[in-house]
A and B are shown apart, each in its own frame.
Chain A
């Protein structure tokens, strides 16, 4: 038995039992952040806050939503939107956050690529982050099924059909996923479960892993400088705050983090109150109808780039390239053969071009994915899809020629 003394205060009482001072140091005041960073380093906190808003708004929606094919549509569009006081707020926060969270994830990802934050011991940060991207994609898709509108139904039809594996014709497998020949009650029930329990559970666990992966290598900095965190933190604690290259996470860096979050929240609630319709597809305000395909089916904007890689090819090749696009980002730390873990603009012209071409090509793919698959748009999408694949195949070669800076 440990030696417990009569407590002198509530804090001391807790400290003896839970070591709260130690925990506070490990998690906050002695968790060290480099000083040489910019606002892009706040995206992690922006994502945490957005996830919290999704969770809270989701809890309120969950109390009135009915996971039944006959009731789901009205429980969302009538009960929640018209009867529940402030029901519209939860729905619009949930819808807007589900869309904006992907914008921030993409910024977070491309910041990591630009500054080389996936190398030299930071591989697990990158891999856990990409697993989070996959989990968020599954969460977004399963949530999109729930209002049971036309887009819900047909997106469910098209995406589950992907699992037939093209020429493999695994129709039995598709029917197993759906629990029916077409998306119906069994399908809605299981995707409801996935959306409100299993995937959020997985996301929470992965967030824990993502944070844990940060502890040993620490956060990267703008110059990719390898900082001796032990020496620099000793310097800081000895009083040389200006000379040290690091600062405390809480409350020092966090105050800047929350400043960025504040600006973000103003933008976010501007969207929620005045411009939410971009996250609410008008087609999904028609109830699901298995005998009528909407004239033009497209996914939400954040899936368009990979959808466009699927679209211009015959079914098997399209599926293979689609699968390639889904997993290839995970392998980035191993495909990048360069010894440099620094910002793209200092790694020589090859990687610099690679980075900006990748970013702009994905924007082109996104735009083409939204347009009907006809004429010039088909051709641009086709070329862009090939450029995307070619860039990834070229990456190990162009980076292995890179000289050590």
Chain B
């Protein structure tokens, strides 16, 4: 009986030591899988917005992801007038208007292709479609193309920094 309680105590004492060790190891293992500081530090890209041509979709790169930049034509701006959802996504720099989005389908992350003739995006993986403003026109994508965090600096756009315009979009649920 005396022995049993002593063994019981030793068992519990070992259990406590092992639990502390296990939690410590799990923290270390989790952190070892985190993105490295060098990966995080490389997460900013600056775009000169004065070089884009109207109506021509250009793909830039930020954090290894494609970024769609489309300088909107007057015709597209007119079409958007009746669509407040599309207007809310508009990015105005000087007198120019832009569609800016992460070029990955919000379904499972394939790159939708821009179709010049239909002025929209088609994702080949699961058949999702987006309008030129980045809104879903055919499922399965659950929401419009995500807008990357940006800060407007004169004619320049810094991707990866959260400017007031982007924060407003996020608060209003325009992007995630």
Contacts and interface: CB of A to CB of B under 8 A. Distances in A.
Interface of A: 154, 157-158, 161-162, 166-167, 169, 171, 175-182, 184, 186, 190, 290-297, 311, 313-316, 318, 372-374, 378
B109 A296 contact: no
Contact of A180 (B39, B61, B66, B111): B39
A315 B109 contact: no
Contacts of A313: 140
Interface in B127-142: 127, 139-142
Interface stretch (B12-20, B28-36, B78-86, B150-158): B28-36
Contact of A179 (B34, B61, B142): B34
A292 B124 contact: no
Interface residues on B, range: 20 to 34
A287 B36 CA distance: 24
B43 interface: yes
Given A158-B108, A315-B141, A291 B66 contact: yes
Given A175-B35, A186-B35, A169 B111 contact: no
B124 A190 contact: no
Given A290-B61, A293-B125, A318-B140, 10 more contacts: A157-B108, A161-B109, A162-B108, A179-B33, A179-B36, A182-B64, A190-B33, A290-B64, A315-B106, A315-B142
Contact of B126 (A162, A184, A290, A373): A373
Nearest to A294: B124
B112 to A, nearest CB: 8
B66 to A, nearest CB: 5
A149 to B, nearest CB: 16
B35 A182 contact: no
B107 A315 contact: yes
A186 B36 CA distance: 9
A190 B33 CA distance: 9
Contact of A316 (B33, B39, B142): B142
A167 B142 CA distance: 8
A176 B34 contact: yes
Contacts of B76: none
Contacts of B176: 169, 171
Interface string B40-79: 0001000000000000000101011110000000000000
Looking at B66, B107, B108, B142, which has the most chain A CB atoms within 10 Å of its CB?
A: B108
B108 A293 contact: no
Nearest to A307: B126
Contacts of B36: 179, 186
